[in-house]
């Protein structure tokens, strides 16, 4: 990623079953980190509400931010390792309400492709995450909730002639101080690509 490029890094707020989302704390801390301010690239940090309404306006938000790359982080409550999501599906689980009590629609994008592949430098991200000493693996199932939905929406935006890249890392529900080096490592891997 060249010195003038812009990286959007997102985490999520609370949702049913996760009254405190570690990715919110991680992304907010990243935004204040002096390391980020010393970078030549611009890093834009956002915490997204866990609502399907977020997805409805996501393309417009991406047009406004105009990122060259997007790296999403979300918590996976049953995970025991960092999961680099490689695939987003055009679906939402119809029985799992978001933080506003709404359920997703399937397909997420009528007329959209059934699946979209993450296109960030996955091998570089995997190597950087593994170097932290935390267990790391690739995943082809971003779930049927907002994590999958935002990844799908971001990849669809990237594929609409924007020439951009997006990816997603699920983190376990571990203490923030344990996860913070992984977030920094993943961001560094994307910026060095």
* Domain boundary assignment for the chain: 6-191
State residue 4's pLDDT score.
Answer: 65
The CATH code of domain 6-191 reads: 3.40.630.20
Q: What mean pLDDT is predicted for residues 133-156?
A: 97
CA distance 99 to 121: 31
Q: How many residues does the chain have?
A: 193
Tell me the CA distances in angstroms from 111 to 17, 34, 139, one per residue in order.
Answer: 32, 43, 25
* Predicted TM-score of the model (pTM): 0.95
Q: How confident is the model at residue 3 (pLDDT cuts 50, 70, 90)?
A: very low
Nearest to 99 by CA among 48, 172, 28: 48
């Amino acid at each position: 990623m060249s010195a003038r490029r812009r990286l959007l890094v997102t985490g999520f707020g609370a949702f049913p079953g996760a009254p405190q989302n570690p990715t919110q704390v991680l992304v907010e801390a990243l935004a204040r980190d002096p390391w980020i301010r010393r970078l030549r690239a611009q890093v834009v940090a956002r915490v997204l509400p866990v609502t399907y309404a977020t997805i409805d306006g996501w393309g417009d938000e991406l047009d406004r931010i105009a990122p060259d790359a997007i790296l999403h982080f979300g918590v996976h409550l049953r995970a025991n390792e960092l999961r680099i999501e490689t695939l987003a599906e055009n679906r939402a689980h119809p029985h799992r309400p978001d933080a506003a009590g709404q359920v997703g629609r399937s397909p997420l994008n009528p007329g959209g492709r059934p699946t979209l592949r993450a296109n960030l430098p996955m091998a570089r991200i995997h190597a950087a995450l593994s170097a932290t000493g935390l267990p790391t693996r690739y995943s082809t199932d971003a779930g049927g909730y907002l994590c999958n939905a935002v990844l799908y929406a971001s990849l669809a935006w990237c594929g609409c002639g924007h020439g951009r890249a997006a990816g997603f890392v699920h983190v376990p529900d571990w203490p923030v101080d344990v996860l913070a080096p992984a977030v920094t490592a993943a961001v560094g891997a994307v910026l060095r690509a």
